Structure 1
Amino acid sequence: MATGTGKPIAYVPGQRAARTEYAKRDDVPSNNSVIRGMASSVHARVNRIGQAQDWLGRWQDRIQGRPARPIRALDEFTGETLAQWALTNVLYARKRPAPSFGFGLAPVLTHSVAARRQRRLRGTLLLATLVYLGGSHPSGMAAILAAVLLCQFFAGRVCRTILRWGSNGLVPALLLAAALFALWSFAKPHLPILREAVLEGLLVAPRLLIAVTALHLLDRWACHAYVQSLRPGRHHIARRPFLAPFAAKRIAAHEVTEQWQSIAYRKEGRVDRFVGAGLDSWPKGATRIQLTSARTSEDEEDDLPLATADMSDLDASQKFDADELLDKVRDELEELRGALVETHALPNCDVAEFLGIPEGRWKSLNQSSGGGGATSGWPEATEMCTEARGAPTGHFSRRYLAAQVVAWDGQIVVTVFAHAALEGNTLHFVTRPHVLAPLLPSANVTPARGWDLARRLAETPLHACGDTFALASRVYTTIGRGLGLLTAVTTAAAAVREKDDGRPVSLREHCGRETTEDMHQTEDVQRYVSIVQSRMFSTVSAFLADHGLATGEFTRQAIAITQNYITGDNNQVNTGNMGGGMQQGPLPGGPANRTEKAG
C-alpha cells in the first residue's frame, strides 16, 4: 500500500482517532483518442470548398422554391474559438480547473496556446503586408480603398436615397445635376494623377491577393502539421508550448491540480451533479434504514426493521462508523480489476475518494499547495479526512467514494459516487451515477491518412483562396457598416467575453455530448452503472450482516434502486446476491490500493 507523508491531524478529545489516509486516484491518461481529438480540433479550419458548394446549393434552392440550406461553418466547439475558450476559462482563469476524468489537460492546453500564437502571427503578417504595400505603393493602395468606398456608396442606401430624391421633381434634378457637374469640374484637372493611381492599383491588387493567399496557405499547412503530430501512431505528444515560459508554468501547475480530488457540485434544473464527472447525471440511489440486530441467523428477507430499537441495544461488535463501511466498499470495488475469467474484469476501474464541495466555494480554493511541482499536496486532504469524524449534518463539504470506469479509449467515463452517513441510529447510503458522453464530432478531429491526406494537402490552395475571399468580404462589410454606407443586417449576437464568476468549468464537458447516442455505448454505460452500483449495495449488505445487523429492509431498497437502472434483459449483470457480492481474485501483478497521507 503506497503512502505519502503529510501534516498530521490534531486529536480531538471525545472523538475517535483521526483518519490520516485517503484513497488516491489513478494518474490521468497522457494519450488517448479524447486528448488527440480535442487537441487536433483547435487547429480546425473552415471547409471553403464545402461553403462554395453550399452557396451554389442556395442558388438552386431559390430557383426550385426550397428552403435555403445553411452555410457550413465552424461552431464554438472547434477551431480557434475552442482554443480561446480553453485559454480564458481554464489556463488563465483565476480558479482551479475541474478534475480531469478520462483525459489530460496538458496536451489540449499546449495546442490551444499554439493555435493562439498562430492566429496572432497570421494577423501580424497580414498587417505587415498591408503596411509594406502601402509604403511602397501608396497611390495604388489609396486607389483600391477609394474603389471599395465608391462601390459601397453606389450599392448602399445613401446613393439610393439621393437618386430617389433627385427624381422626385425638376428642382431636385437640377440640383443633383449641378452637384455632379461641380464634382467633375473639380476632378478634371487631376485626371492624370487619378489615371496613374488606378494603374498602380491594378498592379498592387494582384500582389496583395497573392500575398494574402500565400499567408493563408502557410497557415493551413501549419494546421495540417499540428494535426499530424497528434496522429494515433505517434506516442509522444507535446505537453509544453515552445518559447512560452509563462504558459508552460501554468500548464505544469494544472497538471498537478487536475489530479486533486476536490469536486464541485451544482444544481441544474432538478438534478444535482458533480462538475467534471459528466452532463448525464442519473437520479441518485438513496437507501435509509435503522440499525437493528438480526433476529435470527436465517435468511432475513421476511424480517421487519425494528423501529423502536436504538443504538444502546447494539453491542460493541455491532457498532461501526462510516469510514469502516466505505473502506470495505472500496476494497470490494478494487477487486473488480481482477477476474476469474478475463472478460469478467473491469481493468480500467479506478476507486478513489473525493471531497464534494458547493460551487460557490470553488473560487476560494487554493490554486497551488505552495510546494510546486508534481509533489505538491492536495490542500483539502486534511479536511476530507476529518469531515467523517462527526455527524454530517451542517457540513457543506462531504467525502465521497468514487468508482470510475474509463472505456472506449476515454470517450466514455462512468463514475458512481457513494456517500455513507450514520446519524440517529440510521444508516443513509446514497449513490450518484454520472456519465461523460463521447466528444462532439466538431471537437473530435481525426488526422487524415494515406490518400485522404494527400487529397487534403492538394486542396489546401483552394481553401486558401477561399480564406482570402472570406477575409476580403469581411473587411468590405466591416468598413461599409462602420461608415454607414451599407445597410446593417440582423446577425447573431457576437460572443462577449464573460467576466469570470469563479464557477467551476470542465473542458471535457464543454466539448462533449450530453448523453450517449450509440446503441452499444449506451448498453455499456448501463452495464457499468449496474455492475458498480450493485457491488456497492451488496458490499454494504454483507458488511451489515457481518456485524450482526438486520439487512432485509436495506436489501429491499437496494433491489428497487438497481432495478430502475436495468432496462432489458441484455443489460442485466450477474453481480452476486445482495447478501454478498461475487468474489473475484486479484489481478496478478495488478495495481493495489493506493492511499496517501492527508496534509
Structure 2
Amino acid sequence: MTPAFVKEWLDKKREAEKDADADELPEKPQPKVLIGSDYVRWVRDRVATGRPVPSFGFELTPVIERCAAAEHLLYLRRAVMTLALLAGFACLYTSAPEWAPAVAMAGYWAAFYLDRLLAHHRLVRMTGDSIATGTQARGFTRKSRRALEAVKQLKFGTIVPYVTEIRAGSPRYHFVGAGKVWYEAQIGIDVLPAQPKFEKDGTPGPAIPSPRFEDLFAPTEPESARVKHFTPDDLLTHVICQLKRGTAPSPDFHPDNRLEAYGVAAISAERWKDIIPEQWTSLHVLAEHGPRAVGAGRTPKVARRFLCARVISWDGELVASVFVGFAYEDNYLRVTVRPHVINPLHPTLRAADGEAASSGWSWHRRAWFASALDVVLMLTRLFNPGKDRRHPELDRRKGPVSLREAYSTRYMNDMLQYDDARRYIEMMQRRIFDSVDQFLVDHNVDIGSYREQTMVILQNSGVINYGEMGSVQNQPGAVGSQMNVRPPTTGGIA
C-alpha cells in the first residue's frame, strides 16, 4: 500500500508537469496518404477525372503517365498471379494435391516480388532522368486513356475552383490547388478626387471645393479636380505589368526573380464538373483578357476575374500565392487579398529518394519479406475490402481535389521554408499595394484612406501561426483587433 505522503507528492508532480505543458499544443500527425496500386486508382478516378485541378510546383502530366505505367505492372502482376492459381489447381490432379496451396502462395509471392523489382528499376531510372525525358506511357484501360487526355489538354492554371470553408467566426474561401489560406485582408475606399497639396512654403494650393455625393456622378468640376475614368480590369492589368517589370538590377549573389503574375477566372467548385467546352473556352478568355473581351464569360454570378501572383521555390516544394480581387462600383473601390501557401511534400514521398538509392542484397531481402506481407495483406482484403478507406485523409471525396494539396504535409516545420513563405507573401502583398497606390495617384484619386488601411495590414499581417492567423482578434474587422486602430498620420497623408 502506497503511503499518503507519496501519493500527495506524485499528485503534485503530475499537476506541475501538466501546468508546464499547458501552453504546448499536441503535435498533429501527418495526414494519411495512399501508395502503390491504391494511389494509382485514386489519381486516375479522382484527380484526373473530368477537368483536373491545375497543379503548381509540379507538372501533373508526368504523374498521370507514370500512373499509367504502374498500371501496366499491375496487369502483369495479375497475369502472374493467374498462372500461379492455375498451377495450384493443376497440382490437385497430381499425386501430391496437398502441395496446391503452397504452389499458389509461392506464385503469388513471386508475382509481388516481380512487381516490386520492376517498380524499383523504373524508380531508379526515373530519379536519374528529368521530367522531359520521362517515359511516355499509354493507358491500357479507358479510364487511364481519358486521364491522359484530360491532363494533356489542361492549360496553365488560368481557371481555378474555390470552396467555402465554414468555421467559427467567419467563412474562409479556399482556392483549390493553391494550398492553405493564411489570412484574408480587405481594403475599401470611396473614389474621390485628390485633395489639394500644400506648397513647399506651407501655403495651400488653389482651393478646390470638396464634391458632394450627388456630384460624383455629374462631372461639372474642372479636369484637374475629377477622377480619371478606369475599370477594375484596367487596375488589374496595371498591377500585372508592374509585377512583371521586376525590380532594379540586383547583385550576382541575389537569386533571380521567380514572381509570376497573371489573371485567373475563379468559379465555384460546385459548378466545376458542369463546365461545358464552350464555357471552358470563355473562362480562359475571361482570365486572360477580362470580361469585356470578345468571347469572354460575362456572367459575374458564375465566374469572376482575379489577379494571381505566385512564387515557386525549393524545387517546387514551396508555393506561395496571392489572389487579389478588384471590385469598383458606385464610386467605391474594394481590394480583397487572399494569400495561400502550399506546404512541402509528404514525408512518404520524400522516402522514395532513399528507396531509389538502396540496392544490393539488403534491398532484395527487404523485398522478399515485403512480398510475403503483400500476400498476407491481399488475403486480408479478400475478407475486409475496406474500399471506403482507399483515399487520402485530406480528400473529402466530393468536388474537385488537388493532388498537390492531398500529398502535402499538415504543417510547415522547417524554419527556413517558413521564413521564405512569409517573405514571399509580404513581398507580393507590398508590391501589389504599391502598384495600386501608383494607379490611383495617376487617376487623381484621394489615397489617404487607402494608405492608412494598407499600413495597418502590412504591420499586422506577420501574425501567422503555421499557415493561419494566430488569433482571431488580429484579423481585420474583429472585435478588439489592432487592425481597426487608425495609425497617426504624418506628412500631409490623410
Same structural fold, with TM-score higher than 0.5 when normalized by the shorter chain = yes
Of 408, 415, 421, 1:519 maps to 415
Alpha-carbon distance, 1:100 to partner: 1.8
Instruction: Provide the rounded CA distance (Å) in 1 between the counterparts of 2:191 and 2:160.
Output: 31
Whole-angstrom CA distance in 2 between matches of 1:351 and 1:250: 29
Q: How much has 1:387 moved relative to structure 2?
A: 3.1
Contact 1:353/1:399 (8 A) holds in 2? yes
- Within a 5 Å distance, the mapping from 1:277-288 to structure 2 comes to 277-278=178-179, 280-288=180-188
Say which of 428, 436, 439 aligns to 1:532. 428
The farther-off stretch of 423-432 and 541-550 is 541-550
**Which range moved further: 123-132 or 521-530?**
123-132
Change over 3 Å in CA distance of 1:214–1:327 after alignment to 2: same
1:138 pairs with one of 83, 86, 92: 92
Deviation string 1:457-516 (CA, Å, 9 cap, x unpaired) is 5332443244235524753x678xx6xxxxx9xx97843789998722111111112442
The correspondence for 2:81, drawn from 99, 102, 126, is 126
**1:267 Cα deviation from its structure 2 partner:** 0.8
Deviations 1:388-435 (A, max 9, x none): 699x99634110011110010000111111111111111111111111
* Residue type at the aligned position of 2:195: R
255-264 vs 525-534, greater mean Cα deviation: 255-264
Match of 1:413 among 316, 319, 323: 319
The alpha-carbon distance between structure 1 residues 231 and 362, as it changes in their structure 2 partners (threshold 3 A), is same
> Secondary structure at the residue paired with 1:414?
strand
Judge conservation of contact 2:80–2:107 (CA < 8 Å) in 1: no
AA of the residue aligned to 1:463 = A
CA shift at 1:101, angstroms? 1.2
Report the alpha carbon displacement of residue 115 of structure 1 after superposing the two structures with TM. Answer: 2.0
- Aligned equivalents of 2:412 and 2:347: distance in 1? 13
The partner residue of 2:406 within 496, 501, 510 is 510
The code of the aligned residue for 2:318 comes to I
Matched, 1:495 2:389: yes
1:90 aligns with 2:47: yes
Aligned to 1:192: none
Contact 2:244 2:260 in 1 (8 A): yes
Contact 2:112–2:374, Cα closer than 8 Å, also in 1: no
C-alpha contact (below 8 Å) 2:244/2:259 kept by paired residues: yes
Supply the distance in 2 between the matched residues of 1:538 and 1:422 (Cα, whole angstroms). Answer: 18
Asked whether the equivalents of residues 336 and 345 of structure 1 are also in contact (C-alpha less than 8 Å), the reply is no
Q: Unpaired segments of 5 or more residues in structure 2?
A: 1-30, 205-209, 465-494
Deviations 1:43-87 (A, max 9, x none): xxxxxxxxxxxxxxxxxxxxxxxxxxxxxxx95332222211101
Deviation at 1:519, TM superposition (A): 0.8
After superposition, where does 1:16-415 map in structure 2 within 5 Å?
A: 75-91=32-48, 93=49, 95-135=50-90, 137-138=91-92, 200-202=97-99, 204=100, 207-232=103-128, 234=130, 236-238=132-134, 240-242=136-138, 244=140, 247-248=144-145, 250-269=147-166, 270-278=171-179, 280-298=180-198, 308-309=212-213, 310-312=216-218, 315=223, 318-336=228-246, 339-342=249-252, 347-366=257-276, 378-384=281-287, 385=289, 387=291, 395-415=301-321
Task: Name the counterpart of 2:25.
Answer: none
Go from structure 1 to structure 2 and tell me whether the alpha carbon gap of 1:447 and 1:128 turns closer, same or farther (over 3 Å shift).
same
* TM-score, normalization by structure 2: 0.73
Please state if 1:464 is matched with 2:419: no
Deviation by residue 1:141-177 (Cα, 9 ceiling, x = unmatched): xxxxxxxxxxxxxxxxxxxxxxxxxxxxxxxxxxxxx
**Superposition RMSD on alpha carbons, in Å?**
3.7
Q: Kindly state the Cα deviation for residue 517 of structure 1 after the two structures are TM-superposed.
A: 1.9
C-alpha displacement at 1:559, in angstroms? 1.1
Partner of 2:489: none
Contact 1:291 1:550 in 2 (8 A): yes
**Aligned residues, how many?**
410
Local SS of the residue matching 1:422: strand
Partners of 1:287 and 1:557 within 8 A in 2:
yes
Letter in 2 for 1:387: P
- Contact 1:417–1:433 under 8 Å retained in 2: yes
